[in-house]
Amino acid sequence: MNSPIVVQLQELASDSTNHLPDLLRKALLISSKLGLDEFRFWVLSELNGYESEADIPDYRTIGSQLKVINPYHGYQPFIIEDGELAALVSNVKIFESVESLQHLILSPNKKEQLTFPFPAEQKAALMRMQGGIAQLEPTRIIGKNQVKSVLEQVRTRLLDWALLLESQGILGDGLNFSAKEKAIANENQSAINIQNFQGVLGNVSGGNVSQTMSLTVTSGNFDSLANYFRGQDVTEDDIQSLELAVSQDPEATEPGSFGPKVSGWIGKMTSKAANGSWAVSVGAAGSLLATAIAKFYGI
């Protein structure tokens, strides 16, 4: 006897070896039969690629390294003194489908970095900013692990969504859903759609991430905080640096009041997310770190 289709999706999403487009096609089938149009639109966008920048979720915006292409010396840093402008132009919006992204990171090219050229108008404007005679072509460089992080977030959202369906009493009978299950889906559209659900990646509402703890962080217990960050692929060296920063800073008493050393550590980790040396999207990094540390401080 075939298991319910929602359970099938849970099983597939729980195993990272399963082909992600296959998971999305199963989610497309479920969302279409339940009439969940907003989620169906998200699934189709992940399968086919995004057409509009306005529709791109936060996790598909990746911080890059700005470089210029020197014909004699290869890639060199491109420094923009205006920090706000630098942050704006260094962000890469990932429009490509998950299939294309998988081919990109699995290509035989051994390089761990990928280049994302600027559109023609932006490239020309950035070249004019350089002044002088030698105006070099700018480009953006990201790590393959940053692209992999995008794919893993899609997989986790699918699992989270399937678990939410089950919590609402929606499982399906084979590939079909009862009239009652369709009615529940229709009555709970706001809770079930992509713009409002909770899981190991946090609450997602209007593109803002509020990270929840997939592992318990206990107030005043650094070991629990360290274990949580290990689950987020933070290195032992970085965890030890945080422990030292916590010991040297005054204890925080309210959100946003971390001491200078802990704040500096958060900034360093966010930079690692931006340059690809930590496999977490830059959009989620700050919230993930701040929320976990706040819970450690009991605030």
Check whether residue 36 and residue 180 sit in a common domain.
Answer: yes
Domain count along the chain? 2
Verdict on whether the full-model pTM lies above 0.75? no
What domain range includes position 132?
A: 1-198
| d(C-alpha 170, C-alpha 299), whole Å | 36
Check whether residue 254 and residue 161 sit in a common domain.
Answer: no
Contacts of 260 (CB under 8 A, 6+ apart): 249
Burial of 32 (0-12, 13-18, 19+ CB in 10 A): middle
Would 207 be classed as within a structural domain?
A: no
Each of the 299 residues of the chain gets a pLDDT tens digit; together they read 478 999 999 998 888 889 999 999 999 999 999 999 989 999 999 999 999 888 888 888 888 888 887 777 777 777 776 767 777 777 888 899 999 999 888 776 656 677 778 877 777 777 777 765 567 778 888 888 888 888 988 998 898 888 889 888 899 988 889 999 999 888 877 666 665 443 333 333 333 333 333 346 788 888 888 888 887 788 999 999 999 999 998 888 775 577 888 887 887 887 777 666 776 655 556 667 877 888 888 87
Would 210 be classed as within a structural domain?
A: no
Would 182 be classed as within a structural domain?
A: yes
Would 22 be classed as within a structural domain?
A: yes
Amino acid letter, 218: T
Helix and strand element counts for the chain (H, E): 13, 8
Q: Which residues pair with 67 in a beta bridge?
A: 77, 139
Burial of 193 (0-12, 13-18, 19+ CB in 10 A): buried
The phi-psi region of residue 277 (left if phi > 0; otherwise alpha if psi is between -120 and 50; otherwise beta) is alpha
